[in-house]
Each structure stands twice: as C-alpha cells, then as structure tokens.
C-alpha cells in the first residue's frame, strides 16, 4: 500500500520539465514538495492526477498503475488545486452532491461529514449559493470541503495556504493531521513552510525538475548549509544560489 512514483520523467509537449523523479508515500505519511517557482512541483502533480502523460516511469497507488487503470486510480485521489475550479452553474450543495456521486459515497454518511466540514469552514448557511457569490478564499474552502469529503487514500494539495484566513489555515492543518492519523497519504506543495511544518515533517526538494533531497526540514537545512536558527526563507536563497551554479 503506497503511492509510488518511479523514474518519472515528463513535462509538456516538447518541454521536458521533470527528470527521473522517485517518491514513495505510505499510508499515514505526508510529504511536502518544495522548491522555487518553476521547479516542477505542479508538473509533478499534473502527472499524478493523470493530466500529463509521462515520457518515462510509472505512478501507482496501492498497486493500481495509473497508466493501466486510470479510472480506478483516480477514484482514490482527491485534489485541492492552487486556484479553485468550480462549475459556475452549480450551487455549493450541487458541488457536494457531484463529489458524492463521483466518488460513489454513501449519501447519509457523506452528508453528515459534509455538514461537519461546512460548519468548520463557516459555509453551512451557504448551500444554495453559486460560485459567483463566493470570495476567493470561500471558493478555496469549497475545494477543501469537497476534497476531504471524498475520503480517498491519497490527498494531493497544491499550495493551499495562500488566500485562506488564519482560522481556515488552522482548520486545514487539523484536517491534514487527522487524515495522516487515519492512515491516508498526503502530498502537498507549498512555499509556506511555517504553516506546513505543523502537519508535515518530511519534505522533498525539487530543483530544476529533479529531487535533490528528501528528509526533515532539519536535514534539509543541514544539506544546504543553513544554521538551525536561520529563517526558512534562507532555504530558497540557497536553492537560488544552486540554480545559478554558485553553490
């Protein structure tokens, strides 16, 4: 049981971006994917979601190979994108119903869970609202509610903290911790390490499309020659120096 990414090389037509990526996340584990803008984090995620076709390598989840059984694979993956993607003509209630249908959820249990999540994100009185009525942060919260409602083995979260109020950030961190305790797998990209480290202790550093190191933030600090009390931003400066060939 695990998410396994083996020798993944890929990118866009004529634009190779990621090279020979190897990652494994087991049930109850979370991995933060970090790196400078353009390092290839979202591209890696797009491959895991089956939106891009790898040039080389395989991606499997609990033994189900994405390339061979894409529908079965995707049934166990929930995704919170960096920018919310909602259907303009569907209400919040209809978005929840669509999630329940797509993931074959038991309606009674799912509605109970949905109400808990809606209350947590202060959306419980907005079931009939259309996306046009929501603020940017509220739209992001709808994506979070739908993803946690889906109750999949793997949660893929792309840069979730920007645009959320501190209350929502704290709730999201709690949900991620709970998912890890419930033996789910979590892959999250972020630049906001101060928030991420409250839920995630293991990180992979992506630089120029390759993984340079996987480890705790302490191990990563040591790898890049940072002192224990250097702020996290120093990590990005170190990556930038490497990128420019000065490391």
Q: Which residues bind ligand ATP (CB under 6 A)?
A: 12, 15, 17, 35, 37-43
Query: Residue 198 or 208: which CB sits closer to ligand ATP?
Result: 208
Collect all residues with Cβ–Cβ distance below 8 Å to 86 and sequence separation of at least 6: 95, 131, 134, 139, 142, 143
Name residue 65's beta-bridge partners.
Answer: 60
Query: Residue 32 or 35: which CB sits closer to ligand ATP?
Result: 35
CB of 51 to ligand ATP, least distance (A): 10
Query: Residue 11 or 131: which CB sits closer to ligand ATP?
Result: 11
Collect all residues with Cβ–Cβ distance below 8 Å to 56 and sequence separation of at least 6: 7, 8, 9, 10, 20
CB of 101 to ligand ATP, least distance (A): 30
CB of 83 to ligand ATP, least distance (A): 10
Name residue 46's beta-bridge partners.
Answer: none
Query: Residue 3 or 39: which CB sits closer to ligand ATP?
Result: 39
CB of 64 to ligand ATP, least distance (A): 24
Helix spans in the chain (H): 41-48, 70-75, 92-102, 107-120, 136-150, 166-181, 193-196, 217-223, 233-243
């Amino acid at each position: 049981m695990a998410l396994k990414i083996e020798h993944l090389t890929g990118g866009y037509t004529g634009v190779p971006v990621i090279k020979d990526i190897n990652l494994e996340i087991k049930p109850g584990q979370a991995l933060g994917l970090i790196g400078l803008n353009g390092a290839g984090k979202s591209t890696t995620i797009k491959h895991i979601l089956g939106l891009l076709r790898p040039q080389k390598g395989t991606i499997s989840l609990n033994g189900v190979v994405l390339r061979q059984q894409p529908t079965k694979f995707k049934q166990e993956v929930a995704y919170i994108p960096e920018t919310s993607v909602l259907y303009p003509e569907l209400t919040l209630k209809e978005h929840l119903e669509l999630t329940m249908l797509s993931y074959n959820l038991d309606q009674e249990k799912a509605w109970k869970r949905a109400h808990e999540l809606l209350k947590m994100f202060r959306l419980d009185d907005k079931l009939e609202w259309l996306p046009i009525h929501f603020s940017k942060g509220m739209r992001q919260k709808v994506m979070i509610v739908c993803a946690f409602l889906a109750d999949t083995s793997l949660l893929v979260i792309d840069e979730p903290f920007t645009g959320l109020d501190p209350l929502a950030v704290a709730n999201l961190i709690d949900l991620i911790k709970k998912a890890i305790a419930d033996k789910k797998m979590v892959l999250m990209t972020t630049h906001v390490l101060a928030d991420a480290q409250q839920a995630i202790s293991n990180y992979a550093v992506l630089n120029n499309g390759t993984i340079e190191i996987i480890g705790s933030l302490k191990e990563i600090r040591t790898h890049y020659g940072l002192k224990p009390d250097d702020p996290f931003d120093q990590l990005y400066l170190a990556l930038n120096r490497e990128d420019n060939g000065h490391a």
